[in-house]
Structure 1
Amino acid sequence: MANEDDGDKRAERLKRARALAGQTGGGTPVATLRADAAKPDPIAAPPSPAPAPAAAELTRTLRQSLMEMLTGLLRPKPPTPPQPVQPLPDPPVLTVLVAALGNDADGAAATRLNQALSARTALKVKALPKLFALDGLEDPSQVAAVTMNTRHAVVEEDADLLVWGDLTKDGYRLRVATAASDEERFGPTTRIEVPLDLSEPVVNLLFAALLAAGDPGSEPRRSALRRLLLPAATAAEPLATKPPVQMAMPQQRSVQMLFGHIAAAAAAIAPAEQAVTWADKAINAYRQAERRLGRTDPGWEGGLIHRHIAAAIAAKADRSKEPAPLLEEAIREWRAAAETLPRAVMPQDWAATQVRLGTALYRLDLLTGQTELLREALQALQATLQVYSRTETPTRWADVMHTVAQVLEVYGDQLRNVEVLQRAVDACHSVLEIRSRERTPLAWAATQNTLGSALFLLDRHSEGGGHLIEAELALSSALEVFQTQGAKRPAKVAARNLAHVRKLAESRKTRSVVEPHWLDDPQR
């Protein structure tokens, strides 16, 4: 009886399980029936169903993800590569004024120029709502007046440079002004002609030109310009090497002329091993500009190019162990410039060229002893005194007169001519009326050195003219200033000259016939 009851109970439980699973009697697998029959029959509760396959897979996935996360947290992280340090922007080195431009009624072109230059952090750019107009170079008085006004504006605004000019149908026609005159490179005759589209290469050129035109001034400023100019010149070079054919011919010539100025300025500050390379780049750029001169261009355009080429060649001579051939080449270029620059139209440029020609002839004579070079040098230098007057341009007049005194000193010694040597002495005395020890100590000392040397030679060739006391006083004063100012090389020259004077004076006292040695370098 008990067995029958147990069987009935098991049948009832199986029926309920099939109902819960939603299955009929024919749908239950045989394996499931056998498994159920083998299980014990607990009274408390039915057994928990096994986890479905999808749930088990999810559990394994979560467990694996957790393990990977823990492993990643415990694994040592690779070192982070160092990020490149961004250089700090250059602090302003030059203050540049951008004046109102002619033919720019709404000021839009000047604004674009201002914005393009302001992007260079080394420049502090300020707009100047003032127009400077220069119609041409045919009227020297107009050129002089406008040039003076631009320089006054630079001083009044406490700036370093002023960019001024006008617009043409092809683009900008600009000029650069500084507080001091610079007829050598930047001045009213140097036109910067570029398209209205101020592309990156054009702005690179303008930026390098402003750095080249800036006055070094103090040593910190000089160091900053030296640091900035060489890379700026390198960035400006591609545009000048191959100007775009879209540029008008005057613009192409202007770009190459401007790069010549930039390269010449770079040669002046570059290390010795780079200076000659930059000088050659300047010469090549000037010659490329010369090839772009048209038949209708005025002759003075070529004269300016000859002058710039001569200056670059002379700079190479300064660093050469054999400067004579380079000086001869530079003299040929300066002669060509002097022949084509009209004195009536361009007096300042003509006079500056004559000064450089005379100085180069004088230097070449010191190397070769060709007396005829000194005669030509005197003619060139004295001609400039028609432009540089003692009353209107006293500083420039004193510079020229000091060079005249040096030439007369050497010329008089070569000819053994007392009258020529006396002219050298008189020229030095005139210069010392302009140069003072307080305002221009080094220039004053240089003149005293030349005076002492001329007096020594005058006494030597006049066989005791009583000039040695004054010569010793002049050279002693020069030596003192050179030593105080830290000018070692001029101090060494003055010391040698002073020793010659004292030796000759001692020989005169003892009446011994002693021929003094020739002054090592009385011109410096």
Structure 2
Amino acid sequence: MTKPEHDYRDGDVIYLENDSGGQAYEVVKGKVEISRAGDKGKSILAVVRPGEAFGGRNSTANGLRASTARAVGRTLIKAISEPASAAAAVFEVPAQAVEKNVLPKKGFFRWLLGKEDGGAHPGRIEIMVAALAGEVREVAGDQTDHLVAALGNRKRVRVRRLNKVPAMDLGDRTSPTAAIPREKLLSAAVIARQWLAQSGADLLIWGEVPEPGMTLYLRFIPAETEGEDKPGLFGLAATLILPANFGPELAEILLAVSLAAVVTQNEKKLVGLNEQRAESLAAIMPIIKHLPPGLTTRERSAVKMCFGNVLAGEAARRNSLDLYQMAAQTYRAALEGISHNASPFDWAIAHKHLGSVLQALGERTNDKETLNAAAAAFGEALKVLTKGDNPGEWATTQNRLGLTFYKLDLIAGDTERIKLALTAFQSALQVFTRSETPQLWAEALNNFAQAAQVLGEQLRNPEVLEKAANACRSALEVRKKEKQPLLWAATQNNLGSALFLLGKLKKDLIPLRESAEAFGKAYDFYKAYGAEKMAATAKKNLSHVERLLEKHSPNERPDESEKMD
């Protein structure tokens, strides 16, 4: 005999928490939200979809319902017998979990977090899509389903829906394009990384579908944090804006952006990830040239901005001048559709990204014009970014501006440029700390040391050279040989140069001997590592120091003609 079906409108209650009864149901059409009251208000436990079941005797405590079931949109359900419900899997918190105030059974959480098939594969990238927020829940749910289907499961990539509605506070914003407060983004990242850790996933895609439900605002949170300020790095605020029900071309762009946003140190995953990144970039190149018609100016700019990040990240991995140039062109194109007045933060971040790729190009080509353009882009970004409101973005921009001025001084020998570089590095160090941002702190210290050496030698100032040496020593507290051998060796080489200049200027054997020790460590590592060019430079620098030490006697001063390479 066919079981009767029941029709519900959006928000209608199917049963309430503490109601009597143990009838199980199956969703025929629409969705059912399962929730439970708590100290902090309603907690959404699950969203049940067509073909899935809920309720049943297992979800009751002493014959009373352990949760509330409510229709989401126009919903059709049918009553089912307990054996059928068991076969269909009843997605609800077991009553004993409520009674004992303990976590629900592991199986429930595996479903809730999308771990239906036994968890993460060691070499596969796992992407989770959180239920999108939106005033119209049915629209948001449909667009979440569309996201998952559009991404699909690819080679070495699995996409899962997070069967949990995120409760991320985005603050009071006048429009979806308004900047989300920094503290809200950081809180969202904490929540997201807890979910990712529980599910073993690498990336969470989350966002919103504001009324009238025509546009998706998508953001990306990787499971791991990036300790360095790399070109194309996706910040927590980076947003890909797509039209609702977007087509396959934009789905390919979404995949490329998602892969670029992943941060992982897992070598097995990196091999497959970088292959997928390269393939995905090749696939979207022709799409970007001819974006689907109908996109708004804001959507086009957001797509180009994210594509610029994809290009910049790939350029850094391949050390490709062509890709850096394409990234610069793409960022400039994105800026054409971003208003400084309407979206100042996005405008500033676009200039920061543009400056980063121009800096990379200028450093590799020794092109003064490109480096000046990079400095100008960073300057534009710093007109908006402030130490108080955007400390991370402000400090990383200051650090890159310092590197740009340092390179310009090396090309032109401009003392004023090196002073500007030192000021920028000192500004960055007002934000970076060893405890909270150790890698960025060590990088800024090493950069400061390089610039201070140049100024100290130009001014023949031992105090400046001592500051350079001390900055290197501090950086080495973080850059350990065991964990970061290349950075450790580079900093040892930098320390050797600072001590050599100091010893030569002060006619002092102690810093010269310390210089020889630092150069020796760098040389030994580079030789063992097979870095022949760097080993040759370190050996040549070591020989300069050794010649000074050999010539030196109590009645003899070091030869000031010796210079570092």
Q: TM-score range by the shorter chain?
A: 0.7 to 0.9
Match of 1:233 in 2: 281
**For residues 413 and 512 of structure 1, what CA distance do their matches in structure 2 show?**
18
Shift of residue 240 of structure 1?
3.2
In structure 2, the gaps of 5 or more residues are 1-121, 172-177
Shift of residue 374 of structure 1?
1.2
Distance 1:151 1:484, change over 3 A: farther
Distance 1:400 1:155, change over 3 A: farther
- The CA deviation string for residues 498-521 of structure 1, in whole angstroms up to 9 with x for no partner, is 11111111121493874443211x
Give me the CA root mean square deviation: 2.6
Matching of residues 56-67 of structure 1 within 5 Å: none
Distance 1:187 1:152, change over 3 A: farther
Q: 2:183 aligns with which of 141, 157, 172?
A: 141
Match of 1:209 in 2: 257
Q: 1:94 aligns with which of 113, 117, 125?
A: 125
- 1:105 has 2:137 as partner: yes
**One-letter code aligned to 2:143:** A
- Secondary structure of the structure 1 residue equivalent to 2:137: coil
- 1:117 has 2:159 as partner: no
Contact 2:348 2:381 in 1 (8 A): yes
Q: 1:426 aligns with which of 446, 463, 470?
A: 470
**For residues 155 and 169 of structure 2, what CA distance do their matches in structure 1 show?**
29
**One-letter code aligned to 2:207:** G
**For residues 108 and 459 of structure 1, what CA distance do their matches in structure 2 show?**
70
- The CA deviation string for residues 304-336 of structure 1, in whole angstroms up to 9 with x for no partner, is 11111112222323443x433322221121122
Shift of residue 154 of structure 1?
3.7
**For residues 513 and 389 of structure 1, what CA distance do their matches in structure 2 show?**
38
Contact 1:175 1:187 in 2 (8 A): no
Bigger fraction of residues in helix: 1
Match of 1:161 in 2: 203
Q: Identity across aligned pairs (percent)?
A: 31
Shift of residue 465 of structure 1?
4.9
Match of 2:512 in 1: 468
**One-letter code aligned to 2:246:** L
In structure 1, the gaps of 5 or more residues are 1-90
Q: Which moved more, 1:148-157 or 1:106-115?
A: 148-157
Shift of residue 98 of structure 1?
1.6
Distance 1:96 1:431, change over 3 A: same
TM-score calculated relative to the size of structure 2: 0.69
Count, aligned residues: 426
Bigger fraction of residues in strand: 2
**One-letter code aligned to 2:132:** L
Q: 2:552 aligns with which of 478, 501, 508?
A: 508
- Secondary structure of the structure 2 residue equivalent to 1:467: helix
**One-letter code aligned to 1:443:** L
Contact 1:263 1:279 in 2 (8 A): yes
Match of 2:446 in 1: 402
- Secondary structure of the structure 2 residue equivalent to 1:312: helix
Q: Which moved more, 1:181-190 or 1:191-200?
A: 181-190
Shift of residue 412 of structure 1?
0.6
**One-letter code aligned to 2:379:** R
Q: 2:163 aligns with which of 129, 133, 138?
A: 129
Match of 1:11 in 2: none
**One-letter code aligned to 1:266:** E
Matching of residues 263-412 of structure 1 within 5 Å: 263-270=311-318, 275-294=320-339, 296-320=341-365, 322-412=366-456
Contact 1:117 1:123 in 2 (8 A): no
Contact 1:216 1:225 in 2 (8 A): no
Distance 1:292 1:438, change over 3 A: same
**For residues 343 and 513 of structure 1, what CA distance do their matches in structure 2 show?**
45
- The CA deviation string for residues 360-405 of structure 1, in whole angstroms up to 9 with x for no partner, is 2112222221111111111111112222123322332122112111
Shift of residue 93 of structure 1?
4.5
**For residues 427 and 541 of structure 2, what CA distance do their matches in structure 1 show?**
31
Largest Rg, 1 or 2: 1
Q: 1:480 aligns with which of 521, 524, 545?
A: 524
**One-letter code aligned to 1:144:** L
Contact 1:313 1:329 in 2 (8 A): yes
Match of 1:42 in 2: none
TM-score calculated relative to the size of structure 1: 0.74
Contact 2:375 2:401 in 1 (8 A): yes
- Secondary structure of the structure 2 residue equivalent to 1:308: helix
